[in-house]
Structure 1
């Protein structure tokens, strides 16, 4: 864990230094994955010494876990915001829009998470099996209630969420592929939003 969390409240300078280290680590981990990254690489990117890094964090794993914890908190917020009392299609399409916006604004964090999952989720599996699973089940129940009420088409609630995660995060995790195949020099996010919105509206609108 971060050493600053084990003592009294950190000073402004300590908070700034911690942010600098985490920012550098995010670059290193998203580029190289956890296994391919070292404290030396993080220290070089942050422009500080290795002992200075270890003053703030116990080890590489502690830095990685800190980044993942912050990421999960940010990524779960839009799912928490899915409102059962709102218009079902608007609520789901807004969730899609928020997830795509996060992929655009936090590409390094998205790649950090993808690398963690590809390695078997050694640092976030308890959270995946705990908070994420419980929250997804709660919102799947909301979707099921909307289906029973005839407000949206018949879909598998869990696969709906899986597809949203896949279609939105793809633009961050496979950015090079997307831009290479597009080949027009335009930002893929400009057209991804309208496309995904139309796709999910078509999927969710009940047949007349």
Structure 2
């Protein structure tokens, strides 16, 4: 994996945690992460081929056709113009991959140890406290003292809290689920660096542990729902 040189790299961010990924792994991971993204928001990659040729385009897809794994690029890779050419390249022909604006894809390129960059207006702690104040139906108790005070961590926390709310609604969708949920006195949420998302049951309710600095699971709500249902 290579990235455009823009002078001295910053001390933190992707440059401190870039994962040593093989070129084919970079392409597969980026393609999977952007599968639901509009074409204009897809990563721009620069492929150096075994022949010495270099191709730059938006990453459209990586897939297998018969026995060949193929990467599809959209050309040209201009910011305000949709691609009008599709380029098909055998993945085994790719010897190096450059990812332009790599920091935008740091959740993938760090191997999941960094959260995706925040887009739009950053969320605040106060806004989250208001939006997810504990109620009788959903007694949320985030451990605010352990939550990092960064835009990325707060964005992750917002996503997890919303996933818990959606999961709770799904659990209470029938009488059996409502009966099980009635025994939940509190839903605690804590930042646990380096830990995958886990849900545990204690004497007074549920505890959900997650690394708020790292990238969240792609299907977050499904994972939270499965975790909660598995311990009720």
The TM tier, using the shorter chain, reads: under 0.3
TM-score (norm 1): 0.27
Q: Higher relative contact order at CA 8 Å, sep ≥6: structure 1 or structure 2?
A: 1
Larger Rg: 2
